Amino acid sequence: MSNSLDQSSPMEFAEATQWQLMWRRFKKHKVALLSLYIVLLFYVVAAFSEFFQTYDPEETSRRDVFHPPQMIRLFEVNDAGNRQFRPHVLGMNLERDPITLASNYAVDPEERIYVTLFGRSDPYLLLGFIPMERRLIAAVDSDEKFFLFGADRLGRDMWSRTIAGTRVSMSIGLVGVALSLFLGTLIGGMAGYLGGWVDAVSTRAIELILSMPTIPIWLGLSATIPPNIDPLLRYFAITIILSLIGWTELARVVRGRFLALRTEDFVTAARLDGASPKRVIFRHMMPSLVSHIIASVSLAIPAMILAETSLSFLGLGLQQPTISWGVLLQESQNIRSIAQAPWLFVPGAFVMLVVLALNFLGDGLRDAADPYSQHSI
């Protein structure tokens, strides 16, 4: 009789990479997962903003100054008394108070502006070079106009301007964080790996920058930008200014991790094997930092967006004709806007939503970066 141990199959073990463990743990964080979808949606809107706009964001109209928002109604009652699906908005007529001469918009229930998905509109260039005529939401009659988020003091559509500002405000966070990531990993990595006087000088420089008040530094550096500079150059100048301040936190994290890793056995073995410093850093040390860098970057993006919004709101950041959420919020700095057109604060709601989503996403990534932790989410 043969031994039963000889007939038994070998024990199988399930293996998972670090990224798989991170993803499994991240999916348990329901709020972070929802925030991921929200952030992805905003970046899709930013990438294809022309398609999501209803009109040219720079198109003005004297007839529609401070036009109130119009809500899309999905159903209407036909002549036979039956409800039918016909998306539309109710028209509004401009009236003037005979005593105060103030402008008021009155809803006209008899006038309906029908809207449709993927409808035709005026020709435009998607991404600046793809000719298109269809937009996500458009009026069935191209001669009629509707305002989902109302209009500003020049009669410009706030929906289109808010969507256009999404591209600038969301991209300046990515570009700024990319520059901060480069500076932070380079300076922090050199300080942690080389040590000695390099570490001492880098650490003192980081502490000096962190000890300075952030907002006055931003204001001072932004004030040095000439007011008549090209809008594109001003965009990159503001991005560089934000990056010069935002790299310090990441540099401290990278420095600390490199100080801990350079004495590990696998790093020592790589050095003894003749590996160059470049190979030791990028082949052996950096992979263990990727998860922490991703978490740090996701938490740094909302700080960049808030910084750009604050500078533009104060008039020292991006300026017209560039459209960003901060530039749009400049319109709400006077009492007339607050009293007569509160919908000008809509870009601020977008800022709050994006910043909250990015912070929740960063929290989820930070917890998932240590997949072996027993802490329950």
pLDDT tens digits for range 188-199: 888 887 778 888
pLDDT value of position 45: 92
* Same domain as 313, residue 173: yes
Q: Whole-angstrom Cα distance, residue 366 to residue 318?
A: 32
pLDDT value of position 40: 92
* Same domain as 167, residue 101: no
Domain span at residue 258 reads: 162-369
* Same domain as 348, residue 296: yes
pLDDT value of position 376: 42
* Domain contains 321: yes
* Domain contains 3: no
Please write down the long-range contacts of 198-205, taking CB distance under 8 Å and 24 or more positions apart.
Answer: 199/255, 202/251, 202/255, 203/255
pTM: 0.80
pLDDT value of position 38: 92
* Same domain as 305, residue 248: yes
* Same domain as 337, residue 214: yes
User: Beta partners for 90?
Assistant: 112
* Same domain as 333, residue 187: yes
**What sign has the CA pseudo-torsion 37, 136, 313, 153?**
negative
Domain's final residue, options 122, 149, 176: 149
Which helix (H) or strand (E) segment holds residue 107: the answer is strand 103-126
Q: Whole-angstrom Cα distance, residue 220 to residue 205?
A: 19
* Same domain as 222, residue 294: yes
* Same domain as 196, residue 99: no
pLDDT value of position 305: 83
**pLDDT < 70 stretches in the chain:** 1-16, 18, 100-102, 370-377
Q: What is the CATH number of the domain that holds 318?
A: 1.10.3720.10
* Same domain as 145, residue 171: no
Let me know: does 328 contact 161? Beta carbons within 8 Å: yes
